[in-house]
Amino acid sequence: MKKQIRPRISGDLIAAYCNLIKDERRILIIGDLHEPFTHPDYLDFCVNQYQNFNCNQVIFIGDIIDSHGWNFHESDPDGMSPGDELSLAIKRVAKWYQEFPNADVCIGNHDRMASRKVFSAGVPQKWLRSYNEVLKTPNWNWVESIEYDNVLYEHGEGSKAFMKARNNMLSAVCGHHHTDSGVMWYVGKKFRVFGMQTGCGIDIKSYAAAYAKNFKRQALGCGIVLGGHTAINRLMSL
């Protein structure tokens, strides 16, 4: 009888395998999209990371739309009209919704732009439609921040994730800062917390990103958090 050969794994490989099959949250954190100005390969990249890490939950870290045409800053006079930009953004968001129909969405500063415009015009907020109504994402849960497994997720205005982690003694994941991607740990005698910056998905060649052409290069990537204990950054190939 022919001897059966069984492949063996050990060390880091078996630890990684056990993390992938254990019953815990495995969260994919998708960086700032800025639709309709997202990098054309970013959706496929995020889908691949979701599958590679056997994820079972998704959080968008904010700035789903760019709101370039109705921003408080200067907009490109040669760009799309605000109406055309929004229509294209809705079409692009539909592709994300098709891949990730159930997700938490942290509200970013660019997502709030229409609400801020309404406020500055003195119009009551009740006249505004919800994000889900406008973007046709009925199952997405739009939040200012959310916490899972003692990890705080929010867009990231005010300070970066490592500062929030240190100030709150609570692990934190943020976006907002397009050029940052990485994890920093704070370790004490009886605690261990991390701060993660996810990177982003914006197309640096788009006119919406022209303001940053002389900045550091954007970090195109996403994050994965396993069970609240392991934080991983993944960057797109350049």
Q: Can you give the pLDDT of all 238 residues of the chain as single tens digits?
A: 555 555 566 666 666 666 666 789 999 999 999 999 999 999 999 999 999 999 999 999 999 998 887 777 777 777 788 889 899 999 999 999 999 999 999 999 889 888 887 888 888 888 888 999 999 999 999 999 999 999 999 999 989 999 999 999 999 999 999 889 999 999 999 899 999 999 999 988 887 777 767 677 889 999 999 999 999 999 998 7
- Residue 4 resides in a domain: no
- Residue 52 resides in a domain: yes
pLDDT tens by residue, 105-132: 999 988 988 888 788 888 888 888 899 9
Cα 120 to Cα 122: distance, rounded to the nearest angstrom: 5
pLDDT tens by residue, 220-235: 999 999 999 999 999 9
The pLDDT score that the predictor gives to residue 116 is 80
The pLDDT score that the predictor gives to residue 233 is 97
Strand 104-106 with 57-60, pairing: parallel
Q: What is the distance in angstroms between the CA of the first residue and the CA of the last residue of the chain? A: 51
Cα 214 to Cα 16: distance, rounded to the nearest angstrom: 39
- Residue 15 resides in a domain: no
- Residue 159 resides in a domain: yes
- Residue 129 resides in a domain: yes
- Residue 13 resides in a domain: no
**DSSP 8-state secondary structure symbol assigned to residue 195:** E
> How many domains is the chain partitioned into structurally?
1
Question: Which of 58, 53, 57, 46 is closest to 221 using CA atoms?
Answer: 46
Q: What is the pTM assigned to this prediction?
A: 0.87
- Residue 224 resides in a domain: yes
DSSP run (H or E) holding 82: helix 82-99
Question: Which of 220, 227, 216 is closest to 197 using CA atoms?
Answer: 220
- Contacts of 31 by beta carbon, 8 Å cutoff, 6+ apart: 61, 175, 198, 199, 200, 201, 220, 221, 222, 223
- What is the span of the domain harbouring residue 72? 25-235
CB count within 10 Å of CB 191 equals: 10
Cα 69 to Cα 182: distance, rounded to the nearest angstrom: 31
The secondary structure of 1-14, three-state, reads CCCCCCCCCCHHHH
Residue 196, Cα to own-chain centre: how many angstroms? 11
Q: Are 165 and 194 in contact (CB under 8 A)?
A: yes
For position 138, which CATH number holds? Answer: 3.60.21.10
Angle between helices 42-52 and 82-99 (to 10 degrees): 20
- Residue 16 resides in a domain: no
Give every strand in the sheet of 57-60, ordered side by side.
141-143, 104-106, 57-60, 26-30, 221-226, 230-235
Q: Are 201 and 31 in contact (CB under 8 A)?
A: yes
